[in-house]
C-alpha cells in the first residue's frame, strides 16, 4: 500500500494516418471511410446534452476500450488541440475568449505554462485573477470527486457506517483506483471519505454512492448540484471521474467545486490530510489490521520528490489517459486564499502538473490586490449568471479541429467521446486496483 501511482488502461481509437501504429490496417476504400464516418455519427448521436432534462444514466466504460491514446496531453499523445472559438461567458466576457486572460497590473505570467486550461482565483472575493481557456470542456479525471464530495458529504450521515456487499462495488471501471475496501467489511463514513480524498478510491466512492441511494441517483444529484453552483460546463456520467463518453468539466467549474468545498469543514479537513490509517478488511494477510495510506496529492504529501507547497490547504489531483493530469489546489498566504485549477499540461516532463500549479499559485499571490480581475466566480456579479452568453450548459458552438463540445447536444471535447470511445483509464490514484472483484494493474502507470 505504499504505491502513489495512478494507473490507466489505453487502447487505440479510430486509426488515422497520424496515429496508425506499425502493422495496423489501413483503410483502402471509400466504403471503409464511409463506414468509419457512420460509426462516428452514430456515437455522436448517443452523447447526451450537458443538461439533459431526463436523469443522467451513469456509463461504465468498456474494459480495455480506448479513450484516445493519442489524446492531447496523454503520454505519447498527438499534437496539441486548439480550444473552441466560442465558449461559455459565465463569470465574465473575457472568460469565454480563448487564450491567456490577465488584467491590468498583473505580473508577467510564469514561463513554460503548457496546460490546455487553467484558472487562478481569489477564493475570498471570487475574483478570477487570470485564466487560460477557462470554459474549455475537458475530461476532469478524479478532480470530479470534488463535486462528488460537495454533493454527498451533506447527504450521508457522518456518524454512519456500511457493511460492504459485492453489489456496492458493482460497475466500477476496469482498473479502477481503490483504497482497498473488502466486501464483508464494515467501514465508518469518515474512513470512506479518507479513502476518497487520500487514495482517490473509486471503491470508497461507490460505497458512499450506495449509501446515497445508488450510483444512478448520485450521478443525477451531482448534475443537479453542478447546476446549483453555476457549473454549466460539467456533464456527469460517473461519480468517481472515471472516463466515460460525454463526461466533461472545465477549469472554471472545478475551481467552483473546490471553492465550495473549502466552505465545508469536513471537506477542508479531508483534502488537507496528508496521511491516515485505513481499516483492514475481514480477509487477506492483513485481516482486520489497519494500514497506512498517504495522499496522492503529492504537493500536499511531499511524496516522490515533490516539495510541499507553503501554505497549501489541499485539493484534488487526477489522471487518466483522456484527461491527462488534472489538479486543483487551495493555499493561504498573507491573509489571502488562492484557488487554482490546472488541466492537462502538454509538457510531459515529470511532475509538470505540480510545477505549473506551483508557479500559478505564486503568481496568484503576487497578483491578488494588484491585478484587475478578468472575471468572477460569483456569477451574479458578472451581470448574467447562468444566462450569460454562451449558455449555462457551457456548450460552445465550437469549430475546427478539437473544437470541444460542439453544441449543447454535441459530443465532449478532444473528440474522444464523439467517436464513442470508452474510458481509457483510472480516475485518481491508488495502490489497490480492483478489477471485477480481483486486484490487477492494467495499462500505463502515471504519477499522480
Catalytic residues: 142, 145, 200
- Kindly state the cell numbers that stand for 323: 484527461
Q: At which residue does the C-alpha cell 448574467 appear?
A: 384
3-state secondary structure 242-308: CCCCCCEECHHHHHHHHHHHCCCHHHHHHHCCCEEEECCCCCCCCCCCCEEEECCCHHHHCHHHCCC
C-alpha 89/C-alpha 170 separation (Å) is 39
Q: How many Cα atoms are found within 13 Å in the side-chain-facing hemisphere of 415? A: 18
C-alpha 361/C-alpha 344 separation (Å) is 17
b/e map of 171-204 (b: 16 or more CB within 10 Å)? bbbbbbbbbbbbbebebebbbbbbbbbbbbbbbb
Q: What is the CB neighbour count within 10 angstroms for residue 213?
A: 14
C-alpha 134/C-alpha 98 separation (Å) is 8
User: Sign of torsion, CA 91 96 102 103?
Assistant: negative
Instruction: Give 233's contacts (C-beta < 8 A, 6+ positions apart).
Output: 50, 88, 135, 137, 248, 249, 250, 252, 253, 393, 394
Helix (H) or strand (E) holding 217: helix 215-228
Closest CA to 90 of 53, 51, 141, 54: 51
Amino acid at each position: 500500500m505504499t504505491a502513489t501511482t495512478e494507473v490507466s488502461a489505453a487502447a487505440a481509437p479510430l486509426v488515422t494516418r497520424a496515429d496508425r501504429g506499425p502493422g495496423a490496417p489501413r483503410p483502402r476504400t471509400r466504403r471503409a471511410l464511409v463506414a468509419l464516418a457512420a460509426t462516428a455519427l452514430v456515437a455522436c448521436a448517443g452523447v447526451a446534452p450537458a443538461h439533459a432534462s431526463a436523469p443522467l444514466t451513469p456509463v461504465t466504460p468498456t474494459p480495455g476500450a480506448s479513450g484516445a491514446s493519442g489524446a492531447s496531453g496523454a503520454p505519447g499523445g498527438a499534437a496539441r488541440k486548439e480550444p473552441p472559438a466560442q465558449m461559455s461567458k459565465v463569470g465574465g466576457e473575457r472568460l469565454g475568449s480563448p487564450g491567456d486572460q490577465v488584467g491590468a497590473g498583473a505580473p508577467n505570467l510564469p514561463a513554460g505554462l503548457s496546460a490546455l486550461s487553467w484558472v487562478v482565483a481569489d477564493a475570498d472575493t471570487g475574483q478570477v485573477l487570470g485564466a487560460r481557456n477557462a470554459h474549455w470542456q475537458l475530461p476532469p479525471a478524479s478532480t470530479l470527486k470534488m463535486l462528488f464530495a460537495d454533493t454527498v458529504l451533506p447527504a450521508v450521515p457522518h456518524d454512519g457506517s456500511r457493511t460492504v456487499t459485492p453489489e456496492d462495488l458493482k460497475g466500477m471501471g476496469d482498473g479502477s483506483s481503490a483504497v482497498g475496501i473488502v466486501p464483508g467489511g464494515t467501514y465508518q463514513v469518515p474512513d470512506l471519505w479518507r479513502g476518497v480524498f487520500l487514495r482517490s478510491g473509486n471503491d470508497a466512492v461507490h460505497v458512499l454512492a450506495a449509501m446515497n441511494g445508488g450510483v444512478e441517483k448520485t450521478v443525477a444529484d451531482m448534475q443537479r448540484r453542478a447546476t446549483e453552483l453555476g457549473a454549466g460546463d460539467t456533464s456527469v456520467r460517473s461519480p468517481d471521474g472515471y472516463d466515460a463518453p460525454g463526461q466533461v468539466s472545465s477549469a472554471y467549474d472545478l475551481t467552483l467545486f473546490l471553492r465550495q468545498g473549502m466552505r465545508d469543514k469536513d471537506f477542508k479537513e479531508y483534502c488537507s490530510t496528508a496521511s491516515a490509517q485505513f481499516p483492514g478488511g475481514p480477509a487477506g494477510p492483513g485481516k482486520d489490521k489497519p494500514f497506512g495510506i498517504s495522499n496522492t496529492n503529492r504537493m500536499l504529501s511531499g511524496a516522490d520528490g515533490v516539495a510541499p507547497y507553503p501554505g497549501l490547504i489541499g485539493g484534488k489531483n487526477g489522471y487518466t489517459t483522456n484527461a491527462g493530469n488534472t489538479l486543483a489546489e487551495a493555499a493561504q498566504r498573507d491573509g489571502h486564499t488562492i484557488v487554482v485549477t490546472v488541466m492537462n499540461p502538454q509538457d510531459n516532463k515529470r511532475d509538470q502538473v505540480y510545477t505549473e500549479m506551483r508557479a500559478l499559485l505564486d503568481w496568484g499571490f503576487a497578483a491578488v490586490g494588484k491585478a484587475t480581475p478578468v472575471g468572477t466566480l460569483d456569477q451574479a456579479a458578472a451581470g448574467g449568471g447562468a444566462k450569460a452568453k454562451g449558455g449555462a450548459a457551457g456548450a460552445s458552438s465550437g469549430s475546427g479541429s478539437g473544437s470541444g463540445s460542439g453544441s449543447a447536444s454535441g459530443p465532449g471535447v478532444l473528440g474522444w467521446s464523439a467517436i464513442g470511445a470508452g474510458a481509457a483509464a483510472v480516475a485518481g490514484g491508488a495502490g489497490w486496483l480492483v478489477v471485477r472483484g480481483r486486484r490487477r494493474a492494467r495499462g500505463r502507470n502515471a504519477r499522480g
